[in-house]
Structure 1
């Protein structure tokens, strides 16, 4: 780029004030119409800031200190720009920003972000959730490799185009052991995790702006599977030949009659059993996923299953109510259980949770607010996604409505004939 034809500009501005009335001051470096924002790491009282002039107003001590700091900041950026011209380096706002900060301080490759994210989040996220993040991170590194970008590529160069290209990569990438590409919601989950990591980078000021601002995650809505009353009864009464399948069935039924997730159910101990305010047995626990407390009155089937398994030597040795089994093995065996029962549905432990929300509770008139609390959801809208009212409940509700309307509009003994 010919430096004599380039346009260079630098302005200072603030963003929304915090609860104390203080604003962070940012700079914007613009070269030939392209710009990049950079935090000055300085704050100012919003009353003192002159937005039109990009500086603090007045001659108070604070204003003079702020303006002196900004002037030094401006001189440093200008020096970086002039040095880039002398060394004939590409004149881009990103290069000037990096030169001003110093390459070592400015450069943050993806692996740095992954390491920072994993170190902080592994203390609060479940192992399964962290495993999903590791998979997303691996996809990002594979995309960098395919795009012929170096592994140390700086996240400051992230743009909307990078995200759009990464989305296309996810939609078309095929693993060696699985030729099927990811479905739409699988792609969206990876982008959702990517977005959360980028939000962290913005928060810790490794990025000045969020490249996801204009990107919208578009999940396809789908019906949540569950077992009907008849299917649930079939699972309960089916004669099984192996102890393995009988144990897996018991765990699955426990999920159907408590709504607990796999990890919350398998970690239950005797300490989680309480006598509730109704003098009946309750489960008092906490969802590992959200740390939301769960207080659950035990239904008879669930109580019987606890009694059946809590004295198993393997459970006692483990200090839990149920003997240990991995989620992967459990779900694999549940596929066998589905085949044994002749039910053409995707059996998983989460299907049991859905069944509790629909067939066991909502279809029997339990209010959705109560179901939401028993499931440990933080928002009732989440329960509305999980708990689809089954056809029998809809039929009963509509029948009641028909009866009510018929009393108002149709004489006794007469029937409306559909033509």
Structure 2
């Protein structure tokens, strides 16, 4: 490496002084940077690349030049020893003055930084339900940080601290595996943002944080159970909730989309009607044909309220649905599997205890497949961006695979054989019956599919 100093003659100041630069040539590359010193032409020795005695404090200034040359040589040697390919940019970075740790402001608390991250996501247009999940992770960090003797920052959130957080969730909060996985899922992009957008030091690589999800049994109603729900004699206060739930069973709507339906969503199509809407959760546009049962429910409430169908708070409807399902005799036992304290616990529960508004979406998916709807079409109706999501939603996909294989290899019948599958005489058509005070009459017909 060859190091020289030169006085530039361009951009002199008012006194005619120009900047002095250092030049370092190495491996066919050249570093050129300012020393911060200025002098006039008479104060600089061009041949020696040094300050003349006429420059005030010339000895001290020349010593600084020699020290800078020594620093460049040292930085070049250290970078090579570290196995790095030396470039002018790397040398400049190595020559920057090091700030003592004591002079630096304390790193922000991880929970405070996470709160800032949520505001950034809100500004970027993330939706309410997505932000809600991040707020859950934020509350977890606040609670966990208070249990530690030290400040929790991204710099000390290492693998051991990550394990301690998961232990806190399981042992103190009693969280299930998927709750723990959800928090880890939110932490990974946050840590990457803290490093890349806020320049924070990390003690762990975000991509290496594992997210282990536990399969959860999706609850759905069989055709027979759907019929029980349709025919159930209910108190007047529960009929509207039952009707809203059935409408979602016929259309695959989420609760959030049911609650937001308006007259502009209903369109005429080929002698019938369809729903055209943008899903609240995914902002995906969907078009759903209204089968006779769904259309009948829509007509039942036409003009009676501002919303197309009755709805109240999701939690309230879920509570009512459990009572409705129990009154309808939805008593089949379902095995619930949970991991509690590291142990797998299994217990049977009557299905009515597990029914929620989202059960309607699962029911629509499974019953649609059992009636022969192609998975690709179901994907469009449900508004899934990936067909794998549709396959997961439909619990009967495995049954359909077995039925198809048996038909091909053994020449068995083409129809589904599971008792939960839809038979032609079990297809429900719901029509209003005025003489029952706006109640529903259930008839059976093939055309209602």
Aligned equivalents of 2:232, 2:207: Cα separation in 1: 52
* Equivalent in the alignment of 1:388: 395
For residues 342-397 of structure 1, what are the alpha-carbon distances to aligned partners after superposition, in whole Å with 9 as ceiling and x for unaligned?
A: 222211111100000002x1000100111011001110001111112178756754
Structure 2 matches for 1:353-392, cutoff 5 A?
353-359=361-367, 361-389=368-396
Unaligned runs of 5+ in 1: 1-50, 57-66, 90-98, 175-180, 407-419
SS of residue in 2 equivalent to 1:342: coil
Which digits, 9 at most, give the CA deviation of each residue in 1:35-78, with x for residues without a partner? xxxxxxxxxxxxxxxx942324xxxxxxxxxx3xx54532335x
Q: Is the Cα–Cα contact under 8 Å of residues 178 and 214 in structure 2 kept in the other structure?
A: yes
Instruction: Report the Cα distance in structure 2 between the residues aligned to 1:248 and 1:326, rounded to whole angstroms.
Output: 11
Other structure's SS at 1:213 match: helix
- Which range moved further: 362-371 or 163-172? 163-172
* Structure 2 partner of 1:172: 171
Give the Cα separation in 1 of the matches to 2:140 and 2:296: 45
Q: What residue is the counterpart of 1:103 in the other structure?
A: 105
Gaps of 5+ in 2: 1-82, 331-349, 414-449
Alpha-carbon separation, structure 2, partners of 1:146 and 1:398 = 56
Larger deviation: 188-197 or 288-297?
Answer: 188-197
Please provide the CA RMSD for this pair: 2.6
Give the structure with the higher percent strand: 2
Structure (1 or 2) with the larger CA radius of gyration: 2
Question: 1:249–1:337: 8 Å Cα contact kept in structure 2?
Answer: yes
Paired residues for 1:221-370 under 5 Å: 221-243=215-237, 245-276=238-269, 278-312=270-304, 315-316=305-306, 320-343=307-330, 344-345=350-351, 346-359=354-367, 361-370=368-377
1:183 aligns with 2:176: yes
How many pairs does the alignment contain? 308
Equivalent in 93, 101, 107 of residue 73 of structure 1: 93
Secondary structure at the aligned position of 1:216 is classed as: coil
- Describe the SS at the equivalent of 2:267: strand
Classify 1:266/1:203 alpha carbon distance in 2 versus 1 (closer, same or farther; 3 Å). farther
TM-score by length of 1: 0.67
Q: 3-state DSSP class of the match of 2:155?
A: helix
Partner of 1:55: 87
Structure 1 residues 225 and 154: alpha-carbon distance in aligned structure 2, compared to 1, 3 A threshold: same
CA deviation profile, 1:278-334 (whole Å, cap 9, x unmatched): 44311111122111111111111111111122422xx32xxx312441111111111
Residues of 1 paired with 2:398 and 2:233: CA distance?
28
- Would the aligned equivalents of 1:108 and 1:156 in 2 still touch at CA under 8 Å? no
Q: Distance in 1 between matches of 2:360 and 2:114?
A: 34
